[in-house]
Chains A and B, each alone.
Chain A
């Protein structure tokens, strides 16, 4: 049995998440990945915004910072620049990171700041009661899209790649073995890394959309996900409505803290 108690603040339990929520699955995967890279708890800062996933910092024994809606990455930027030795992780949701916090998300990726952002994508605003988010698929219902959403949804991973992230991976709450691996790689990668995780929200996404229980959602992820390597051989038609999982981007780009340090050294020499 993995020693989760090493990392959890059990005194803060019970947690606020619903039965069948994906938040716990992802949290456990994060802890396993942290254990594998042997980081000290003192050297980890976990930063979040507002939403269901953003309640995670309260339950884990790191330096934890629960900020304002959408701004986690901006807080994390100051923390990381002021103390580059800290391993700074950001936990966010689809609404927090790509609606209200979209600007910070793309600019941190553009700067290639050495932080890891983990986005729990459940296609809905769970904390506030099931309103449509930027990743609610067309036709799917939310409390503010009672006739089904008519807005195209964001491709979160695609956005990060286009903005300049060094490392981008997508997994689902079914594919936890892969998720462990992607998180570990993301944590180790110098530069901005994004791990997008599709997560079930049985309360506010599955129920109004008649998608069944959390287990049904996990089964749906299993049956509709295709590895990125296979996806590259498929036509757009064949990939339609499929979840493409895997390491979508892994490249070397200058990292912001290091570039700043180099600039400062150059100035002080001259």
Chain B
């Protein structure tokens, strides 16, 4: 009999997300039921009281987003999970978290939209809402795993990113990844990196919550630990108090956007396959990437020089990396379950048109649909 891996489990993406969050140190979840994300809340309602954490079912998504920011200010890693309509309701307070630099993770198990849309079917239509859903120029990080194991890894990374950069992180799942059962080997704890926000060791008397430093990431102080400071969604100065001084306002907004620009090379992650000699490149993320990998392998069997570029981090978008590929690649194909949201960004990156493969009918894009496009291009 083959040796059994005791760490191997059959898990859904939603379960993997919830378990990974606990491993990452998340001890506060505030959420509101919504398909297809509800299992994340259900698992955490069960698990968090066991591990000394707090689970609270809030009265709506506005409250869910607000309550996780409140908990994070007390120094507790916090998360919420939702889907399209709930994600829309969270947008104002996502902006608050971005403005006040309070670490938090928002999981959005996408469904088709707008409005109630397709609650029980997959879609990838929130790419732009995840980036620009809240008003004003702001920093945000968006990650998009494509398998159950990737969901586990990227949930932990989402917490690391939000803790490290003090920027809210959105995990974009879709109904397929959320509900598919896959074999999942849980990594050994010692192989997992966990990052916590940098806290101030300065005296509370001189502490300034948004003091400029070399890293552009201010040092955090937990509420209730003697650091009595002010947090506001208004434009504020380094002391945390509202300001109308144009210089100070400019300094704040510049730093907030610089944080993302400056660290984007560390934040951006992607995976490539067969790209070395490729003439055609598929750019995909989430469950569409699964079909794309299959299509690439089938095409390679037929001798077509096609490669794969899977986005793990959607925002910040890897414009420069894709731009460099443009000289080598004849055609970019972008399969996605929306009407061309990532295709638009790829197009900007390569400064040329891309071939779009889109579905918005709640069905997955099949490997064959992508393969047909590959064949059309290669002749």
Contacts and interface: CB of A to CB of B under 8 A. Distances in A.
Contact of B62 (A71, A76, A82): A71
Contact of B66 (A74, A86, A107): A74
Nearest to A62: B228
A81 interface: yes
Contacts of A80: 70
A86 B68 contact: no
B59 A66 contact: no
Interface string A222-234: 0000000000000
B145 interface: no
B136 interface: no
A104 B223 CA distance: 22
Interface string A56-67: 011001111111
Interface in B6-62: 27-28, 30, 49-50, 52, 54, 56, 58-60, 62
A86 B50 contact: no
Nearest to B233: A68
Contacts of B224: 42-43, 45, 63, 83, 85-86
The size class of the interface chain A forms with chain B is 35 or more
Q: Which 8 pairs, one residue from A and one from B, show the smallest C-beta to C-beta distance?
A: A78-B70, A74-B66, A78-B67, A78-B71, A82-B74, A74-B63, A82-B71, A79-B70
Main SS at interface, chain A = helix
Interface stretch (A23-31, A125-133, A148-156, A259-267): A259-267
A68 B52 CA distance: 29
B28 A66 contact: no
B241 interface: yes
B268 to A, nearest CB: 30
A263 B74 contact: no
19 contacts: A43-B224, A63-B224, A65-B70, A67-B66, A68-B96, A74-B58, A75-B66, A78-B66, A79-B70, A81-B56, A82-B75, A82-B78, A83-B75, A83-B76, A85-B224, A86-B224, A103-B60, A107-B63, A267-B50
A70 B227 CA distance: 26
B180 interface: no
B29 to A, nearest CB: 10
A74 B62 contact: yes
A125 to B, nearest CB: 18
Contacts of A79: 70-71, 73-74, 223
A62 B225 CA distance: 11
Contacts of A66: 230-234, 242
Interface in A83-100: 83, 85-86
A104 B231 contact: no
B67 A77 contact: yes
Contacts of B76: 82-83
Given A77-B67, A83-B223, 19 more contacts: A47-B70, A57-B230, A58-B230, A64-B230, A65-B70, A66-B232, A66-B234, A68-B66, A68-B92, A68-B233, A74-B62, A75-B70, A78-B30, A78-B68, A78-B71, A79-B71, A82-B27, A82-B28, A103-B62
A38 interface: no
Contacts of A61: 228
Interface of B: 27-28, 30, 49-50, 52, 54, 56, 58-60, 62-64, 66-76, 78, 92-93, 96, 222-234, 241-242
Interface of A: 12, 41-43, 45, 47, 57-58, 61-68, 70-71, 74-83, 85-86, 103-104, 107, 260, 263-264, 267-268
A53 B294 CA distance: 59
Contacts of B72: 78, 82
Contacts of B74: 78-79, 82-83, 86
B152 to A, nearest CB: 24
B28 A67 contact: no
A80 B74 CA distance: 9
A83 B225 CA distance: 10
A12 B243 CA distance: 11
B169 to A, nearest CB: 17
A267 B228 contact: no
Given A68-B96, A82-B75, A77 B228 contact: no
B230 A71 contact: no
Contact of A41 (B50, B54, B66, B228): B228
Contacts of A74: 58, 62-64, 66-67, 70
Nearest to B27: A82
Contact of A67 (B50, B56, B223, B233): B233
